Amino acid sequence: MENEVDDLFAELEDLARRAEVKAQSSKLATRRRELSERLKSAERRAQTAEVKFRDEGLAARRQIADAEEKEQKLKELTRKLAIHNSQIAPDAHPEEKVRLLQQRIETQRREARTKLEQLTRENAEARAELKVALEQYQLLEREFERLQADADRSNEEETLLKVAESYFLGSQIQSLSREIDDASRHFGFLDSRQQKAQLTIWIGRFRQLQERVESEEGEDVTEDQALMLERIFPTLVGLSKEHRPGYIEAFTKGFVADWDEYIENGRLQLQEATETADRQRRTESMLGERMAVDLEKINRLREDGLRALDELRRVVTSEGFPETGVEDFRAHLTRAIQGLGAGDPRILDAVRPFRELLTDGREFRALRRRLEKGESDVNGAAQADEEILNLTRGMRAVMIGGAVREENRRNVQSYFDFDELEWIPYEGHRPAAMGDVERRVRGGGLDVVLILKDFIAHHVTEKLRPLCEQHGVPCLLVDHGYGVGQIAEALRRGLNRIGTES
């Protein structure tokens, strides 16, 4: 009997609770719609006030600064007028002009200050209204939770809550901290100008938040949010030390500024740097495309030159030469020179025994000069090349810039007897490859770095060369292309330094 009574009580209590929840939920849902509209209205007002405070307030602060600058200039002029008063014409009346200027300067300053005070008051009132509306809405949400009722909040209301919360200091601290943490993973992908501008924005926002926390606004900041703010500064210092984009004055203790203007200037710098980087990437892409076309032509000429060289060797070794076959000799030689160049040692070796056949013809002038240098110069060049080969043989090399052609890469690797040669076509939007080079330099995985000077951004060289020097890896600039001759010349210029480091 007793258990049956308890069960009946439990059923009645559950029915009463459900009825209460249903009744209260209906009232709360109506109230929530009202508070949602109020919150939406308060958010719109806060947004309008903040935009006005940022834009018109910045203009007002500039007017105040301009008035103070004019006042200082007027003081200097007044002092000079007083010193040279005897030289001023009696009808000039400088005192009246000074008084008129003082009045106008004071009017400009007073109007700007009045405007700034009005904007500050409107912004504060809008935030206060938004804070009350947000607190009432959140209190209503807690009542839903107490009743264990389904709040049935829409996506629009979820978004509205997040936007409303973002106007307050604690949320802004959390937002800046998350933004820096997320962006720092990809910070190395930016060029130095973009890095400097982005750090300028972040440190400006940090200093602004720091000043607001130290004022009365900091009362609403939780202990966790205050600790989060403290961790932002060393994070930014670490990014600055790692990437070294340039001096930023806001990192200096005691530096003060109009932080709204400072942040806005940083945003303008970032926009300009990004546009410049985009133009540079497009230019490099166009250069790469043109290089690819030119390289394809060079490859076709080279292949034709190699075929002509084979035909030339066949002719000079044929029976009856040079009594017969001279015309074929000249025709094949002309094609070989067009494809391989007059200085190709294989051509020189093939025609040296028959130099008397080259006594006329403008097309063979460069070849004759090469042959006339004499065997001593040839031997000297061969010795220099052998010195380079003794140095490069077995090296692990990387070449950066230009449009990659596998056949050319293999030729360069074979000619210098590199143990390995990686050719990276630098592109501003593919910084991961450059990061891999930097890691290999730090880890001792490279013996020489070749930078194709004409096809790579200047800031890459500025960043990579100091790193190579720090880790004892030769970093050489190759001028005017990426042929074997240009690379050999770069190695020859750096021969003494490379030998010392070896």
- Considering only CA atoms, which of 39, 24, 23 is closest in space to residue 136? 39
Residue 39 has pLDDT above 80, yes or no: no
| Segment 86-122, tens digit of pLDDT | 778 777 778 888 889 999 999 999 998 998 889 888 8
Instruction: Encode 269-294: b = buried (16+ Cβ within 10 Å), e = exposed.
Output: bbeebbeebeeebeebeeebeebeee
Q: Are 490 and 477 in contact, with CB atoms under 8 Å apart?
A: yes
| Of the ranges 29-43, 128-142, 341-355, the best mean pLDDT one | 341-355
Q: Are 491 and 391 in contact, with CB atoms under 8 Å apart?
A: yes
Calculate mean pLDDT across residues 172-196: 86
Question: What band does 248 get if pLDDT is binned at 50, 70 and 90?
Answer: very high
| Segment 320-340, tens digit of pLDDT | 888 888 888 888 888 888 888
pLDDT for residue 456 = 66
Question: Amino acid identity of 85?
Answer: N
The two counts, helices (H) then strands (E), for the chain are 16, 4
> What does the angle CA 209 – CA 213 – CA 214 come to, to the nearest 5 degrees?
120
Q: Are 451 and 478 in contact, with CB atoms under 8 Å apart?
A: yes
Cα distances from 1 to residues 7, 10, 11, in angstroms, run 10, 14, 16
pLDDT for residue 375 = 47
Residue 487 has pLDDT above 90, yes or no: no
Tokens of 332: 């094949």
Inter-axis angle of helices 406-416 and 259-316, nearest 10 = 70
Residue 137: other Cβ atoms inside 10 A: 21
Partners of residue 477 on adjacent β-strands: 451
What average pLDDT does the chain have? 79
